[in-house]
Each structure stands twice: as C-alpha cells, then as structure tokens.
A and B are shown apart, each in its own frame.
Chain A
C-alpha cells in the first residue's frame, strides 16, 4: 500500500489540471487552453459503432470525429477568432462535468500521469434544445517547465451517431 499516497498525489494533479482545463474551455478562453497542450499532442475521438458483444472493439481504427495535434488545434482556435466562423457565432454555452478521475504516475520521475475520467458536456446553442455528449477520456499528462500539459487524449464517446449539428467544441 506504499503507493497509495502517490496515487492520491497523482489524482490531485490530474483533477487540478482537468478542472482548470474545463473552466478555460467553458469560458472559451481558447488561447489559454492552447497553452495547456503539449507540443507533441496526440488528440483523437474515434468513431464508435454498435457491435455484438463478442466484438473486440467498438471503435474505428481509422475514422475519427477529431484527430488533432497542437498545430491543428491552433488552426481551429484561429478560425473561431474569425468573424465568419458561424459554427460558434453565437457561441454555444457549454458546461463540462469531469468525474470518476483515476490517475497513476506512469514513470518514476513522477513527470507523467495516466488519467482516466468521465466527461459529460452540456451544450446549448441559440434556442436549440440542449444536447449532451458523454464519454470517457484517456489522457496522458506530462510535466514540463510550464507545469502539467496534455500530451495525449483519446475521447471514447458513448454515441454512435452524434446528437449534435457539429463538433465545434473541444472535448
């Protein structure tokens, strides 16, 4: 049980990071959110399908709702800054609920944390009926000179057909 305090510490770092991140995204402080992204970020939201129970996976190996790196996230944020990015003008109101956080240091230097958490995103846009996106995040956080950064993220959505007119938000 010696590693219980370490697990606790890792989870505390992870929760601090995820809560800060959710706050920045919900407040659309996207340039600040970009600073939380590692230079070698690998960010994926694979397409999900309904499969029989014996199937080894329900996620597509080649099709993604988002497949991003640091530069493509930057491009998306730059586009949202344009006055012609109608997808988020007016911006949607979002609220990210992050829970069930499990975290473990992945190396002895305690510079990398493997994190699993649940994500529920509430999104309302104009007067459209609000939608929810639900899924699991599998993250790797990495500690550098600027503190913790997101090194990789896989979002495993619970939806096969997304109930949203677009994915103009980051998950």
Chain B
C-alpha cells in the first residue's frame, strides 16, 4: 500500500523527524494539503481505526454508516451476529448502496441498477442475470469487506492493511487504561453521536486529549469561575500530587488525575452509588480497580484519532453532578477541517433518571454547545490559519513542544506505577503529545 509523496512533503517530514527529539514541530503540519493526502493513505488506511460502539448495532441487520479517513463504510451486524465493515460502494458502478446514517436492513440494494447485497456483504441478486450476466460469479462481487475487524470491550475497530497486527497488539498498553473504565460494568451509547465540523486539523484534537493538561487553566477558566467544574481539577504543578502523564505506549497516551494517598471516600470519577454498586472488580486486575477507585479525571488518545474523557460535571451551579464517559473521534476533512464525532457512554444498568442527568451534563460540558468544548474549538481553528500561512511554510516555522523535557524541568518518573507505559509525576509536560506525533512521523515516513 505504498503511496507517492512529494519531495517537499518528504523534506518536511524528515526535518520534523530530525528535530523531533529537541521538541520542535513544524507549524505547517497542521495545515498542509500534501500531508493531508498522504495521511489518508499512510495513517488512516493502514492503522486500526475506531468505527462504532457495539451498543449502536445490537440486533442482526442493525447498521451505522461511518468513515475511515474520508471514505464511507457500513458497519453492520449480519444475520449470524458477526460485525461486518463494508465499503459503501456497489461493485457494479460504484454508487452508494446505503442511504441512511443508521437503520436495520437484511439487504442493501443499489438504486442504480438494482444489485442487491446481503447484510453480510455477499452479492445476492443481479437483475436480468439469466439473460445478461449468466457467467457472473456472485462470490467474486460482494461488497468489499474491511480485511480486519475486531472489538475491544464494545469498541469496534477496522484495519485496512493486509498485514495488520492483532487489535490487542495494536492497542497494547492503552487497552489497560481503557479497561479501567470499560471493564467496570457494561456501557451503552446514549442516543446518537454528536457531529460537527470545525476548521482545525484533526491532529490538534488527538494531541490535546493525549496530554495537553497545560491548556486547561487558560482555556477553561470561565467554567471554574461560574462553578461548573471544581477548580482543584484544573490546578497543576508539584502540588497536584495525583497527576500522571502516561507515555511510552507506542503512539497512544493517557492523562490521569487521581487521589494519591489516603482519601476518605472512593472517587470513581464521581459516579453515584447507584452506579458504583454495579461495578464489578472481577473483570480487571486489582491495580486497575484501585486506579478506578481513586480517579477523578481521565483523558487519553488511541492513535490515530480516537480519544476519551471521563469526569464529573454539572450543567448549572449547585446541581448534582453527572459523570461523563465520552468517546471522541477526530475525522479528517481536508488539511484545515475535521468532523468531530462524540459519543456519550452510560452504564447500561443505570436508572433512566441518571441517564437523563448524564445527557444534560455531557451536553453542557463536551458537545457542540459544551461550556468547555466551545472554547477549545474557537482557539484550534486559529491554528489552522497560521499553519497554512506562506510564512510558516517558507521559513519552516517550528512550534515548541519542549515542556517538561530534560533541562526544562526535573520531572520524576513514578517508579511504583503499576500500569503499562512511563508514568511521569506531573501534568506539566508534553510527553503524551510527542508520543502521538512520534508515531505519526513513523507512519508518514513508512512507504
């Protein structure tokens, strides 16, 4: 799956690689039409990409229409219960065979000439076959299937590379951190995902959730001022004992905020007792359960474009909190735009009242109208403009990702950390973001 790359793009990437260990990143990678094209082939078309949560397609025939990079793929549970990922393109003339974002269908029928496919992707019917297509081998002309589809704790991924690693190997250590959430109980998607288009490069979102704790004091100060979020969670530095930045996970990264020491009460990100009573430590190792028990806020990024966030929020001062577990995907839409997809996960066994509260606080915090999120996207969109500037490109202007590097700070590694990866005892460092970037450079330079 080798893709051509221009000499200029190659030079930019090699320059980024050569200066990367000094924490210097070319600004223009956040708005470059050539790199954006290469990304679709080298990053999205050959890594494991998140598509859906299993609770979105519980029954045979249930489907959702999703994208890998910018391409349309149908994620469907076939009649045998197997999840299939099918390119939404008729094998005859290429028209899309799926006309809805979601639904239930035993078959997909192309409107152009009527070729009909089972929800497994197999070609089932061709009009006038006996008269005109007698020798057509139906087995050869099913909808194209993603070669590798697998799930992890309800998360559905696909990989289009012929030589894909196993999903479990691909996820590696980040699975441990995902499971700190997902193994506690069964989760389901609350309604439908939010979708909106932001004029910013997708990598900015992926990096932000990988470990940009530094931005919260400035960007999100207003939500603390109006008592929509406890200020303690936005405080950084040495005094913030329970902050950990986890890197060394091969392109994935996690950011944790938990109570170290001897807190009086379990935290579980603020989940109420009606939910925590249903948590089951059997599905995880004791270290994971201990971390969950004292966790207050978690974010992370699974390379390339899936992120997650978990914390408690309120939608008005003085209200009872709701705990939001959010899945977030940064979908490339050209060099200077992305479509954000955002799923709210709720414990399946929680009461309807609690689920409604979560819908309210999640919408009020992280959604197109989120009191947190609104300010992030307003700022990210300005990066695309400067990154696309002739000046940045012609002078190869570099950004500073040196925070916390040796010489800048003496950040201790947590030698007692029980999870995978390298745990640094500060959230004032850029290691998680560099982890994502390092993997991105490797993928982009791999022919």
Contacts and interface: CB of A to CB of B under 8 A. Distances in A.
Contacts of A72: 315-316, 360, 364
Interface in A54-98: 55, 60-67, 69, 71-72, 74-76, 78-79, 82, 84-88
A60 B64 CA distance: 14
Give the interface size bracket for A toward B.
35 or more
Contacts of B195: 47, 160-162
Nearest to B368: A167
Interface stretch (B99-107, B140-148, B245-253): B99-107
Nearest to A125: B378
Interface of B: 99-103, 190-200, 218-219, 221-223, 225-226, 228, 315-317, 319, 339, 344, 355, 359-360, 363-364, 367-371, 373-375, 377-379, 381
B34 to A, nearest CB: 23
A12 interface: no
Contacts of B368: 65, 162, 164, 166-167
B316 A75 contact: yes
A1 interface: no
Nearest to A80: B222
Given A64-B363, A128-B199, A165-B199, A87 B228 contact: no
Interface of A: 45, 47, 49-52, 55, 60-67, 69, 71-72, 74-76, 78-79, 82, 84-88, 128, 160-168
Given A75-B226, A166-B368, A47 B375 contact: no
A128 B379 CA distance: 12
Nearest to A170: B369
A163 B225 contact: no
B196 A51 contact: no
Contact of A162 (B197, B226, B315, B355): B197
Contact of A50 (B101, B194, B359): B101
Given A63-B191, A165-B196, 7 more contacts: A63-B190, A63-B193, A71-B319, A75-B315, A78-B226, A79-B228, A161-B196
Contact of A62 (B191, B316, B319, B381): B191
Pick the 4 closest A-B CB pairs, nearest first: A63-B191, A62-B191, A87-B374, A82-B222
A72 B197 CA distance: 25
Contacts of A164: 196-197, 368
Given A51-B103, A52-B100, A52-B103, A167 B374 contact: yes
Contacts of B225: 79, 82, 84
B197 A49 contact: no
Among B219, B225, B369, B371, chain A packs the most CB atoms within 10 A around the CB of B369
13 contacts: A50-B101, A52-B103, A55-B103, A63-B190, A75-B315, A79-B226, A87-B374, A87-B375, A128-B199, A165-B377, A165-B381, A166-B196, A166-B377
